[in-house]
Amino acid sequence: MLSLEGVTKTYRVGAFGAATLTAVDDVSLDLAPGEVVSLIGESGSGKTTLGKTVLGLLAPTRGRITLDGAPARPGKAYYRHVQGVFQDPFSCYNPVFKADRVVKMIKDEYFPGVAASEWEGRIEKSLKDVGLDPGQVLGRYPHQLSGGQLQRLLIARALLLDLRYLVADEITSMLDASTRIDVLNLLADLKSRGLGVLFVTHDLSLGNYISERAVVLYRGQVVESGPTAAVFGNPLHPYTIKLLSSVPRLTARWDGGDPAVPAEEVSAGPSTLLEEEPGHFVRRGDTTPTRSVS
Ligand SMILES: Nc1ncnc2c1ncn2[C@@H]1O[C@H](COP(=O)(O)OP(=O)(O)OP(=O)(O)O)[C@@H](O)[C@H]1O
């Protein structure tokens, strides 16, 4: 189990870092093997900060992250099991390294003792697992591969490790619709084989499609969480209701009215998460927005 307990991350902002901004505020969640949890929120809600904190790229200001009960410490032992894939696959590659060098670096770093022939077998398997043809991709530079192929290659690279949890941060947002669904189906397949996925997205429909649990983040705080069917079917927090009502529908035209609830109803504050249905938590309490910059 990958667990976050009261994770808070503040940044120093303002002239000379004189102020702090709370990007993630007291977030707790569990991710089990074989489960996809979507982390949903608008731009600036703290999703990427939280994902980076899980990956050890940022240290939490408060709270803790544990893997099977042991404190998560960024390093080889942790990264064998927990990896991230990000929005822009091109930025994750060195443009002068062909794909075979990218996967060889995993061997050099983590499995120096594995025989070359066995390693080739593992590469072939992991590429096939993500629907890539080894003969087609291994000799190519990043610019010779499509965005979808690069995302798959990143996932294949992660699969070479003993991967158990994947942080997928907006990984489909730069892909066209059909490639997007291929990558989503790949995640669903990996999930069925036991991978736990933290699926970070601002796109509600993707969260609804792929996850069994949804966590809605607003101004760094969890405002609603629970089974995806409950959060999407019976949203209870004004912010979730606003988000859901803002999604354009294919079969309806916008009638010029404001689909959102009034901004003053959308709030997070010194408040608590209450369990309103089994497993379905909603933030209730003070309605003063609290993303603190102090
Ligand atoms: N390095 C940083 N220094 C200061 N503030 C930051 C830093 N990184 C992010 N922030 C601020 O923290 C808040 C949360 O940002 P974050 O990128 O985590 O949100 P997000 O939900 O991932 O947004 P997006 O979907 O646009 O990427 C924002 O107000 C952002 O401006």
Level-2 CATH architecture, domain 1-69+167-177+199-294:
3-Layer(aba) Sandwich (3.40)
* Span 4-62, pLDDT tens digits: 999 999 999 887 777 899 999 999 999 999 999 999 998 899 999 999 999 999 999 99
For residue 90, pLDDT over 80 is answered with no
Find the 46 Cα to ligand 1 centroid distance in Å. Answer: 6
Residue nearest to atom 4 of ligand 1 (CA): 11
Higher pLDDT: 178 or 269? It is 178
The string of DSSP codes covering 110-143 is: H-TTS-HHHHHHHHHHHHHHTT--HHHHTT--GG
Residue 268 has pLDDT above 70, yes or no: no
Q: What's the pTM?
A: 0.86
Q: Which of 91, 87, 77, 121 is nearest to 103 (CA)?
A: 121
Does the beta carbon of 48 sit less than 6 angstroms from any atom of ligand 1?
A: yes
pLDDT digits (tens, 9 = 90+) for 116-143: 899 999 999 888 888 889 988 898 988 8
From the CB of 201, is ligand 1 less than 6 Å away? no
Residue 81 pLDDT? 92
Does residue 263 register a pLDDT over 70? no
* Nearest in space to 231 (alpha carbons), one of 184, 282, 196, 187: 282
Are the CB atoms for 289 and 267 separated by under 8 Å? yes
Reported as a single tens digit per residue, the pLDDT across 218-262 is 999 999 999 999 999 999 999 999 888 876 666 666 555 544 455
What Å distances lie between residue 103 and 107, 121, 161, 168, 263, CA to CA? 7, 12, 11, 19, 48
**Residue 110: is it exposed, middle or buried by C-beta count within 10 angstroms (0-12/13-18/19+)?**
middle
Residues of the chain above pLDDT 70, percent: 88
- Which residue do the tokens 């993500």 mark? 130
Selection from 29, 80, 73, 59 nearest residue 211 by Cα:
29
Q: Compute the mean pLDDT over every residue in the chain, rounded to the nearest whole number.
A: 85
Average of per-residue pLDDT across 81-85 = 89
Taken as a whole, the chain contains a residue count of: 294
Which tokens hold the place of 124?
């072939």
**Comparing C-alpha atoms, which of 161, 160, 134 is closest to residue 145?**
134
Identity of the highest mean pLDDT range in 24-28, 106-110, 183-187, 246-250: 24-28
Predicted local confidence at residue 288, as pLDDT: 45
- Whether the predicted pLDDT of 177 surpasses 80: no
Cβ–ligand 1 distance for 52 under 6 Å, the answer no
Atom 24 of ligand 1 has which residue's CA nearest to it?
43
240 close to ligand 1 (CB < 6 Angstrom): no
- Nearest ligand 1 atom to alpha carbon 48: 22
Q: CA angle, 270 as apex, 240 and 208 as ends, to 5°?
A: 20
Position 278 pLDDT exceeds 70: yes
Atom 1, ligand 1: residue with shortest CA distance: 11
